Structure 1
């Protein structure tokens, strides 16, 4: 252990003792309850739950107090105090668990708050490595959180090769690295311009099934652009296309700089096989061909927008609808069903799946609660509004079939549902096998979403689908599916629908080599989404 670096008020570790084991007294002769006593002279039998006492004993033990102190330091980002408590505990001989060590390493790996700038950051990093060495020497097993924290310390120290070696050896130790394990090293190599090592980290991530997100791809894109690795820039733009619908402002700036660079003017071919390019577009589902840079010379780069028909207002090119891979959709449906069965009563959800097989498919699925409550204020659920939407969707349907209405069962049992006109509607939907009532205790979101995915149908809801449930579905496929399938509702004197746009909001590469890159905005913003338009053919006059 290193010398004491930080001082804190001495804590009386030695005066704390573990609470003695609690005595549990039971007797077959006292079935009356937790506490029972017989007549004088008889044995007294006591059966008291010792769990609260033991919990209190653990909290008040030296280990428990240290844990609490370190947790508070972690919450406040206070590495100096955490190390001071650690030093005091070591002097007092307090045994440390993996939680103690992981908390210490985590708080040491955090950036030092501005309010404590006088603390020597380099010393904290060194103490972090000392703590890790002591953890290994004491035989305390490391986990993914341990290695990730040490990787961060190594990256901050500048030992990027050490950091990469640590994360590479995780699978050999039976540990599954996560994106947070790789990200510091990858970003570190990108930051210093060591693109070959950055590509090696990227490859290692691929081998263990860890997918980079926009931040990692943007760092690789910037490093590749600065190193004039045009083939990597090309492939990374396509990886961004598959990963995000619209790029962040910082990623947009990186992309803009690349297209304006001298290196970008030199890439590409002047002659290409148009039929081969067209075949690549068809094979990819539209919006890209993947055959490399087309054209030569300086790029015209502007920020613009596309109109409601998907036409770029700078170059006049029309954005296309990019097909969703049917295999991706099927796999997504399976994953969705697995998640639902984990979080719902499995028999309830499998019963719904069977019902859907027997009564589907449907051209549209309606989130009944969302539609019935939309724009109602304090008036409550509106069956008439729901029925108006249902009838409008039937008229739009090529099969003239009623859409599937998903409603929680409690909506069908309250006073509103029992009104004669509403009761007739419900009975009509039930006779048409167009209504599914989700059972008590269920979350109807799982039901209407699964139905829309499995039926490949439109989904009518104004739900933005941003809560925890939908975050479980990831940021790759689900946003693309939602864009192509969600229908939003507007109700005034008449029903109107905001249908999915006639083009896909994602990076698009045209058959003539131009690029259009959408930039992320607040989805509720009324201003047009900005796009980067990059082409070699100049802007129309």
Structure 2
């Protein structure tokens, strides 16, 4: 018998396959039968076997105290973990996360948090999901101080809460009238997400409409400190706390094209990006691209860009050529390229990135298109990415390194762009991406980046504007929460 076949037919592997099927079907009863049978037959269980069993013991819904069957299921989960220790099977992150979920289902967030602490004692780095049962459990029970302790432990271990966690902390802070924490959480949402979900928007609205929100705030404040905070933060916030007193007027509204609120008339600002951040981001892009692309191909492009650049705009040729049409259109690219040249400060042609296949086959063989491509080549504004490459890396790197406009309707949400994180990249994209919208005559209209930042903004007067995910400003206007009140500062 071959080694591969022997491994496949080993009792441990057969048990693994059967337990995985139970996990897929959510069949705890069968999984427990397999577990008991394996123990009776002396089969050595490993961490994966135990993790599947613990996962199945976690209910997929909230339990009531009277739900005896499910409470027994939870107890069985802890018994299985105890046996895991007796068998000297070393737990991993998934083990503790499943145990934390069991503890949360028993409405015991303290135990869930203790289990996370045990992870660090075992040398296991907790993940965001590891903290959820404790954090949400404390928030649900209204144990705000304990929830803040979990939040501190997360950040102390390099785990950053996301919108769901911050909204839970915001909600419990609002419910228990901890206005300083509410202020902190809204600002942390500002730095974590660009536009808030409808759930978060509702939580923020409830806060501004609450009695405590109308009672807190400085009636007289140091305007110089506010201006300084505004300047040091790059604009859009000051961090000096709640300003003013009295009831808040909270409405859903939109902004006009220049960023003026249609409700209160306040103009939103365009928040600066530190040039050093842009340089670091360009370096990150180059590193990632060199790992994903043939190193020599991307290095050649960098050298070419160094010689031919900088450009005032970069065009994602494939995206533009196919926009609004079923067939690839070079004339469509040409119209936008000419428009970009006219508005360019240097009157220079933009850089057009196209895959090699696009410039050598299909519509590229048309005589008119051939002449067009040749003129772009001679002008040093066309770069054909090599066979087998992903042209996304090329046009994005060019736009970032040239600190210029990027013309594409690509939403940049796939795996490639997820590698870039959600801190700097969304801010850069908002300030640099120009998009195209079909007009009534079938042509494309260029939509430039907005002159204001789509992010939570706190004004020098103490007003707040919170963008939501509803609307995209291309097809439908984005919805904002506008929160204002009487300003008592003189």
Alignment of 1:72-471 (within 5 A): 72-111=21-60, 120-377=69-326, 380-471=327-418
Shift in Å, 1:403: 1.0
Report SS of the residue matched to 1:416: helix
Aligned residues: 483
> What is the distance in 1 between the residues matched to 2:168 and 2:312?
42
User: Whose radius of gyration is greater, 1 or 2?
Assistant: 1
Unpaired segments of 5 or more residues in structure 1?
Answer: 1-21, 23-49
1:439-475, Cα deviation, whole Å (9 max, x unpaired): 1111111111121122211110111222222233333
Report SS of the residue matched to 1:417: helix
Unpaired segments of 5 or more residues in structure 2?
Answer: none
| Contact 1:80 1:119 survives alignment (8 Å) | no
> What is the distance in 2 between the residues matched to 1:58 and 1:522?
54
TM-score with structure 1 length normalisation?
A: 0.84
Shift in Å, 1:536: 1.1
| Contact 1:77 1:112 survives alignment (8 Å) | no
> What is the distance in 1 between the residues matched to 2:235 and 2:62?
48
**CA RMSD of the aligned region, Å?**
2.3
TM-score with structure 2 length normalisation?
A: 0.92
CA shift in 2, pair 1:264/1:111, >3 Å: same
> What is the distance in 2 between the residues matched to 1:406 and 1:125?
57
Shift in Å, 1:222: 0.7
1:212-231, Cα deviation, whole Å (9 max, x unpaired): 10000000001111121111
> What is the distance in 2 between the residues matched to 1:460 and 1:283?
31
Shift in Å, 1:326: 2.7
Shift in Å, 1:520: 1.3
| Contact 1:205 1:211 survives alignment (8 Å) | yes
